[in-house]
Each structure stands twice: as structure tokens, then as C-alpha cells.
Structure 1
Amino acid sequence: MLVAAAACPCPPLLVPAVAAGAAPELDDARAACLDAIGVLAAARPDRLVVVGPDPGADPGAGGTVPYPEGAAGGFRGFGVDLDVRLGPGGAEGAAAARALPPSLAVAAWLLQRVDWADAPVEGVGVAERLEPARCSAAGRELAARAPRVALLVMGDGSACRTVKAPGYLDERAAGFDERAARALGAADTAALAALDAGLAHELKAAGRAPWQVLAGAAHAASPEGRLLYEGAPYGVGYLVAAWS
């Protein structure tokens, strides 16, 4: 059963070594992410599942990719010699696991920042185009993995908030992010489940599928939510929320 959740953005720029001189611009977002993870620790879960968008996940072949505790990743593709591992331990098969996608690598970095040792950790990469119903089913399965499950859900809002954004300016982007922010802040699973997958794809909102996995996981939990951060630096919607 889901006992707590944290939703965090997943740009590699969240890692100061990647952001370099621009690192202070995301200080508030980083602090909010660490506060949200603190809510997970306070819930004393039996298991932490990290969920994030995964370019290697095929929506036609299950739509999700598992990553065991100890799976490795890093930021060499962003010009930084920095490696991370998912969680403090190393499960059997971790050495043979595929490299963490960027979203889970950012999550692993956040967990290292707080010295996470409160529960075993596993990762799940989610296909960006995974249908909402299948996201919900995946979330229900994750929530059933242990008596007390916590989720760390990584995902960005739209990437079309300004003309300099990765997806250029789209007038629909601010409204989409506002709806997502309200849903995450209120722990409104129905509103999350209702986010338009087609519109999310057009707006390059990589968080849509992970958020709908969260909605499925929380369908029977009736959590309370708090929005800890909302912003659009670089024209991308970044949201941080904590559910307990």
C-alpha cells in the first residue's frame, strides 16, 4: 500500500555539477526536492520505488523497465564525470542492469544527497507514450509490492513555456502545467489520471506518464498533498509535491 510519495522534476541541471555556473537558479527546486524526500523517510516505508520517464522503455512491450537497487548511471553524456547508483545497496543483478536513464540518475543523486538508508530502493522506467490506463495499472502493481510503499516520482511539466524553451512557446503549456500543479498539490488522483496524454506529448511534458503511475498507486490511499515548488526556469515546468 502506498504510504507516501514525492514528485520531483528530473532535469540533469538539478545536479549542480551539470548546471555549473547556472546552479543557483535551481537552488529552491533542489531544496524542495530534498524536503519532499524527507516526507518519504518520515513515512517509514518498507520499500521505495523510484519512477521516471525512460527513453529505453517501449510502450508496445510492457511500457516499463525495472532497475534493481545498485543499478548505475551518471552524467557523462552531459559533459560531467559523475557517476551515481540507485540506493545504498546492490541487489543481485545490479551489475548487469542497463544504465539508469537520466530521470532515475537524477533521483539517485537526490537520494545520495540525503544519505537514503530508510528502505530498499528499486527503479522503474516508464515509456513517455504509455497509455493512461496502463500507467494506472502499473501504479497499482507497484503499490502492492510491500505493506508500506513510498514512491519518488520524477518528471517535468511542459517544455513550451517560452520562446527559448526546448519546445518553443505554446500557449497551451501554462494551462497544462497549472492543472498538473493543482492535481499534485491536492493529491487529486482523478485529475492526474485525466491529464491528456496527447497534449502532454505535444507539449513535451515528460512527467505525464510517471504522474499517472502515481495516481494509480494512490487510488486506494486517500493521501494529503502539498505543492512545495512551482516554476518554469528555462521555459520548462518544474513541480515538487509531497503526499502523505
Structure 2
Amino acid sequence: MLAAVVFVPSAPLLVPELTGPSAFDTEPVRSAVGDALADAAATGIDRWVVVGATDEPMTGPVDEAESGSFARFGVDLRVSLSGVGPDAETGPRMSLSGLIGAWLRESASLGPTTAFIVGRETTPRECAAIGADLAALLGDSRERVGLLVVGDGSTALTPKAPGGGRRDSAVALNDAIVAAIGGADTATLAALEAGPCDNEGVGGRVAWQVVAAAVENSGSALVAKTGYADAPFGVGYVVATWTVTGDPA
């Protein structure tokens, strides 16, 4: 059964080994992620599922490697979803979503964790169907499951943003996304269009839409809490928790 949903950025800057001890501007978002995971864990989570998107252009659910390395981001820091060691990689190169999820599994001691990674070009309609399938899997389980949703907002929120500088259209779209996540507004997340999200560099659409559909199909009542929403490097980062209350409707 679904117990909680935690939204975190798909940001290598969360990892201290990559940013260095003097990178104080990364501490607020890292601290917010830790607090959100602790809040969710306090409700009693038996296992976690990392929901994210692939780095490569593809569609539909994909097999994710069990372990991988942050070497392509500058440091050969190895992480694992399975806990069987960083040399147990059995699939293709681990996605950034998977790497972040695996690092958080270890750094926050999350316990049993698996990945549910979806191609970044999956359409909203396909995301809805995949999310419904995920809801069915959660409903069949007696375990209390936490969804760890890894994804970023727009890359064009400040003058020096990596997506080509600040654009009003990107800011407006990102504000709408932050409000939807902060209000557990699954309908707004489901209605996000692929074209505008791609144009504004929104990386989290697929993961958010899969989870929105999963929550809708589970019939869960939610309490939402936003712990962080900012763009310290011109990219939209949001940290939030949806806690399930009561029995499914």
C-alpha cells in the first residue's frame, strides 16, 4: 500500500562528495531532502521505490541497473539500490535519477529500495497508464511503500540559468508545477504538456505524471508539505512530502 511520496531534485549537488565542503549554497536543499525523508520514514515505511526518468530519449518503463557511479559528474562515487555492493551493476548505465535514489538510500538509511524508471519521452497518456499499473502493484502489497520521486523543474529561471537564461514562460510553468506539488494537485501534474515542458527544460514531468496517476488510482487521501522550492543555480528544485492519511477511498 502507498504510505508516502517524497519529491526531491535530480541534482548531483545533493552529494557532498561532488560539491565539496565549501559549497554552502547546496546545504539548504540537502537539509530539506533529509528532513522530508525523515518525516516520511517516521510514518513507517517498509520499502521505497525510486521513480524517475531516463537520461536517454526513450519511452515506457525501462530496466535500471542495480548500482552505478557518479564518475561522469567528476567523482567515482559508487552507489547501489540493492545494498549488495557497488560492483554489482547488471544493466545499462544507471540513470541520474537512479544514482540520486541510490545515494539517498545509503545516506538516509532508507532500507529496501527498488527503481521504477520511465523513458523521458513517455507521453502524458502513457504516463497515466504506467501510473495506474504502479498503483495496482502498490495495492497488491501489504507493505507500506514510500515513493521517492526524483526530478527537476525548468532550467531557465535565472539570468545565468543553464537553459539559456531566464524566461518568463519558464518561470510561470515552474511556479505552476511547484504549486501543484505543494498542494498535491494531481490533476495539474497530469495535465502538463510534453512540448512546453521540453521547451523550458523541465526534467521531472514524466516522474511527476506517473506518480500523479498512481496516487489518483490508489484513492489515497493526502497531506502535502513543501520543504524547499528555489532555483539556486537557475534550475527549479522542489522538495515536498505527500503523506497518506486514512484508508483509500
Pair in the same fold by TM > 0.5: yes
Percent identity, please: 39
Is 2:72 the partner of 1:77? yes
Equivalent position to 2:97, from 103, 111, 131: 103
Q: Do the aligned residues in 1 keep the contact of 2:55 with 2:96 (CA within 8 Å)? A: no
Offset at residue 57 of structure 1 (A):
6.0
Q: Determine the structure 1 residue equivalent to 2:246.
A: none
Q: Following superposition of structure 1 onto structure 2, how do residues 6-17 of structure 1 map, counting pairs within 5 Å?
A: 6-17=6-17
Q: Determine the structure 1 residue equivalent to 2:188.
A: 191
Q: Determine the structure 2 residue equivalent to 1:165.
A: 161
Offset at residue 87 of structure 1 (A):
4.3
Task: Give the Cα separation in 1 of the matches to 2:41 and 2:21.
Answer: 31
User: Greater CA deviation, 94-103 or 4-13?
Assistant: 94-103
Offset at residue 200 of structure 1 (A):
0.6
Q: Do the aligned residues in 2 keep the contact of 1:87 with 1:116 (CA within 8 Å)? A: no
User: Greater CA deviation, 230-239 or 31-40?
Assistant: 31-40
Task: Give the Cα separation in 2 of the matches to 1:53 and 1:21.
Answer: 29
Q: Do the aligned residues in 1 keep the contact of 2:6 with 2:147 (CA within 8 Å)? A: yes
Q: Do the aligned residues in 2 keep the contact of 1:4 with 1:151 (CA within 8 Å)? A: yes
Task: Give the Cα separation in 2 of the matches to 1:143 and 1:21.
Answer: 40
Q: Following superposition of structure 1 onto structure 2, how do residues 47-86 of structure 1 map, counting pairs within 5 Å?
A: 47-56=47-56, 58-59=58-59, 63-67=60-64, 71-86=66-81
The unaligned stretches of length 5 or more in structure 1 are none
CA RMSD, Structure 1 to Structure 2 (Å):
1.8
Task: Give the Cα separation in 1 of the matches to 2:134 and 2:5.
Answer: 12
Is 2:176 the partner of 1:179? yes
Which aligned segments of 4 or more residues in structure 1 are displaced greater than 4 angstroms? none
User: Greater CA deviation, 6-15 or 46-55?
Assistant: 46-55
Deviation string for 1:4-31 (max 9, x for gaps)?
1000001112212212266321111111
The unaligned stretches of length 5 or more in structure 2 are 244-249
Equivalent residue letter for 1:155: G
Task: Give the Cα separation in 2 of the matches to 1:237 and 1:26.
Answer: 13
Q: Judging changes above 3 Å, is the alpha-carbon distance between structure 1 residues 40 and 230 closer, same or farther for their aligned structure 2 residues?
A: same
Is 2:125 the partner of 1:125? no
Q: Do the aligned residues in 2 keep the contact of 1:129 with 1:201 (CA within 8 Å)? A: no
Task: Give the Cα separation in 2 of the matches to 1:213 and 1:22.
Answer: 36
Offset at residue 123 of structure 1 (A):
0.5
Task: Give the Cα separation in 2 of the matches to 1:53 and 1:4.
Answer: 20
Deviation string for 1:122-164 (max 9, x for gaps)?
1022222211121122222223222332200000000011232
TM-score (norm 1): 0.89
Task: Give the Cα separation in 1 of the matches to 2:194 and 2:70.
Answer: 28
